[in-house]
Copies of this chain bind each other. A is one copy, B any other.
Amino acid sequence: MIENKEVKFTPLIQFNEFELIHEWTKNFKQYHPNLLKGIGDDCAVQQISENQVLLTSTDLLVEGVHFDLSYTPPIHLGYKSAMVNFSDIIAMNAMPTSITVSIACSNFHSFELIQQIYQGIQIACDELQVDLIGGDTSSSRKDLIISITVNSIFDKEKIVYRSGAKHADLICVTGDLGAAYAGLQILEREKQVFLQNPNVQPDLNEYDYVIERQLRPRARYDMIRFFNENQLQPSSMIDISDGLSNEINHLSKASKLGAVIYQDKLYSDYQTQKVSELLNIPLTTFMLYGGEDYELIFTISPQKYNEVTKNKDIRIIGYMTEQFSEPMLLQLDESYIPLKPYGYHHFGKS
């Protein structure tokens, strides 16, 4: 009873996240015909009436793995925890309706700390008019844990999947790339300086933009409104949580097509460029592999070129090709290299 009877112990490090999810869930049966999409897109999609669907997405955030309270103001942590979930709904071309929030904390955490996390969640909810409908508060032995599930009740016909891209569709991306990862590098560097000499107060003003992109990302719901106002319907869409290269691989695989991305069309902010120089890491690494930007990548018919380019915060960075193959990057020297799903093979920070 008490004894550990486990026969085999295979370390998790041998697998990537997608292999694990597949292995663990492959034998589950589907009982309800209203389930239009289960595991494998940004959200699950269930039909709830002739014209409406229920979208559901969930995230589990653990202290020391997904966030660091030594440099994350708790109000930003709350805001970000909600926003990254909203971003999953937005990536389906919908708007979130309601969330549940569960928090587990220990006696290392104060009433005020958790209060500020909830305040941040509330700011995000007010911004997108989302109802907090339930949750759970409990104890942990040490680490703070935040679990958020978001629901959306939305028009079925508006929903955009990862799998809808067509041959010759334009690949578009919103905003600038790599800023959140650049911000993380600065924060981690300053943390080390602080740990060595707690009297040094860093001046981070020159990196304020990239730090804000890391600590307080805003999901691109303005784009959902832009699409709606201009009767634009992307053929596929995904948000950038794990880096552009990784997300392009998801779109390509789900849509069973190839993709070409032009390196010279990738756009980053001046501060991201400064961090790249400071740390001597190629700027392309930030733009292709930097996670947590929560920008949108979408594909759309080339006939919509004029309408899409009306929005100056959308850039066309490539196009979908006919055959399913590894997405390719057309480099500045006009040679092609494959875009690898970097970050993909790590069971860890993601």
Contact = CB atoms under 8 A, between A and B. Distances in A.
Number of copies of this chain that the complex holds = 2
Interface stretch (A41-49, A161-169, A225-233, A250-258): A41-49
A130 B31 contact: yes
A105 interface: yes
Interface residues of A, number: 102
Contacts of A139: 62, 65, 347-349
Given A38-B134, A131-B30, A2 B191 contact: yes
Nearest to A125: B28
Most chain-B Cβ atoms within 10 A of its Cβ — which of A17, A54, A63?
Answer: A54
A111 B57 CA distance: 24
A46 B96 CA distance: 14
A32 interface: yes
A257 to B, nearest CB: 24
Interface stretch (A3-11, A301-309, A314-322): A3-11
Interface of A: 1-4, 6-15, 17, 20-21, 23-25, 27-32, 34-35, 38-39, 43-44, 46, 48-49, 52, 54, 56-60, 62-66, 70-71, 97-98, 100, 102-105, 107, 109-115, 118-119, 122, 125-126, 129-143, 145, 147, 149, 151, 153, 187, 190-191, 194, 198, 201-202, 204, 211, 347-350
